[in-house]
Structure 1
Amino acid sequence: MIDDLIDAVIDREGGYTNHRADRAGATRWGITEAVARANGYAGDMRHFAREAAVAIYRHIYWQRPRFDQVATRASLIATELFDTGVNMGSAVATGFLQRALNALNRGARDYPDVLLDGRVGPQTLAALDGFLATRGNGGERVLLKAIEALQGERYLSLAERRPANEAFLYGWLANRLS
């Protein structure tokens, strides 16, 4: 699963870019220079190897935030969290999941609220299990819609707060929301 997700992100992100409106600066394969440097890369981003990007995606954006554990329960949700985490940060993606789970638990009758800490831990996984057990087969798609609604609102807010982000808004909405 993760290999296909990584390939899709790399295909979508493309090779080297350094858009003047993008605060992230130079990127290659969707990995920012800051992330590459934090993971030991010291060279020119134009030469950043695809294999290094794959390793970063696997470790930083899949295993470390524990989206691999979400995938064993809900593959659609894990796919969305991975993609959103790559674009906005894993803590933001997890926060969307936690907010949606809390809003969908019918006043904590189905399962307890989770702390909005941006981390997938036992409490968040238990809430996800409770949600899926209560809502059945269609529940995962509803949860996905809630996460994507939060993501879409954030994109609009980013563009409203910083007009330079309007250069990216159409692509974010077209390529990042299902």
Structure 2
Amino acid sequence: MKMTFIAIIGALALIACDSEPKRVDHHAEMSARIDSLESVLKAADGDLDEQLADQMLHAYTDFQAAFPEDSMNVFFAYRAGEISRNIPGKELFAVAHYADVHEKHPDHELAPMAVFMTGVSFDQMGDKTRAAKSFNHFIETYPEHPWVDQAKEMLVLTSDTVDLESEVSDWLNKAK
């Protein structure tokens, strides 16, 4: 009887220990979510729909909020900028993500590209003034960067005030 009682107590102890909630590794879980979404994007051959873009942006920002000191945050901020820039109407969000890169990680290899892409984002929005400021900042801050020539070209394009649509319309009207 004593042995049965001890066996029952032992079994109950094992069950109690086994029923404790498992610790969740949120870092691994959130990293896996990002990896999974990036795999979906890769499989879609870069064809980004808005639903996938929103899921990816949330995954990146959720990770950054949960693990602010993680070294992957600079990459996630840059990727969030790339995604936002490629969604019509979300270019200003791209600027915010790129700013996160070059302000929080000014010595990182992605910082110059983030400044350059800030200019591209402003240009996409039609804000030539802020685009020009971004390209000027890029040229002044990173004069040895391989993209300096492209930044100078973009600077020329952003200072061009010709309205191509009206130029084409005028040309077509004259051709009639």
Q: TM-score, normalised by structure 2?
A: 0.22
Q: Which has the higher helix share?
A: 2
Higher relative contact order (CA 8 A, sep 6+): 1
